[in-house]
Amino acid sequence: MSTSLTIADVERIAALAHLELTSEEKQLFTKQLADILAYAEHIQAVETRGVAATAHVNVHGVERADEPKPSLDMQEALANAPDGAPTSGLFRVPRVIG
């Protein structure tokens, strides 16, 4: 497959990634991401039929019993919020519904 990237592609990816890019950033990333993806195309040359995918290298199981334990205090958990409402235990966000 060939990798050609347009500004529209970059805008679509930025929307998926929740990034509001400036027009300069869109121009720059269109070129840079195309260069990187063209280089990444090298892996297409590797024969991988029947090869399992490695998502992680853990050799042991990573599951544990689901036992309730104390967690962060609510006030502490809210202390870093840019718009927290610690007394009511809430994070405030812009209006979502009408």
Partner 1 sequence: MTSNTSGIVEIRTAVASGDISASEVCRSALAQIGSANPALNAFNHVADERALASAAAIDRARAARGPLGPLAGVPVAIKDNMCVRGMRTTASSKILDAFVPPYDATVVQRLEAAGAVIVGKTNCDEFAMGSSNENSAYGPVRNPWATDRTPGGSSGGSAAAVAAHCVPLALGSDTGGSIRQPASFCGVVGLKPTYGRVSRYGLLAFASSLDQIGPITRSVGDAAAALSALAGHDSMDSTSSAEDVPDFGAALTGTVKDVRVGVPRAFVSDGVDDSVRRAYDSALDVLRDAGATLVDIDLPHARYAIPVYYLVCTAEASSNLARYDGVKYGYRSPAAAEDSLTAMYSRSRDQGFGAEVKRRIMLGTYVLSAGYYDAFYLKAQQVRTLLRQDYEQAFERVDVVAMPTSPIPPFKLGEKTSDPLQMYLADIFTVSVNLAGLPGISVPCGFAESPKLPIGFQLIGRMFDEATILRVADVYERATEWGRHAP
* Binding residues vs partner 1 (CB under 8 A): 1, 9-10, 13-22, 25, 28-29, 32-33, 35-37, 39-44, 46, 48, 51-60, 62-64, 72-73, 76-77, 79-83, 91, 93-96
Smallest gap from Cβ 88 to partner 1, in A, equals 15
CB-nearer residue toward partner 1: 87 or 93 = 93
Spatial distance between the Cα atoms of 15 and 40, rounded to a whole number of angstroms: 23
Alpha-carbon 90 to chain mean position: 24
Check if the beta carbon of residue 12 is closer than 8 Å to that of residue 21: no
Task: For the CB of residue 87, give the shortest distance to partner 1 in the complex, in Å.
Answer: 17
- The distance of closest approach from Cβ of residue 54 to partner 1 in the complex, given in angstroms and rounded to an integer, is 4
DSSP states along 1-33 = ------HHHHHHHHHHTT----HHHHHHHHHHH
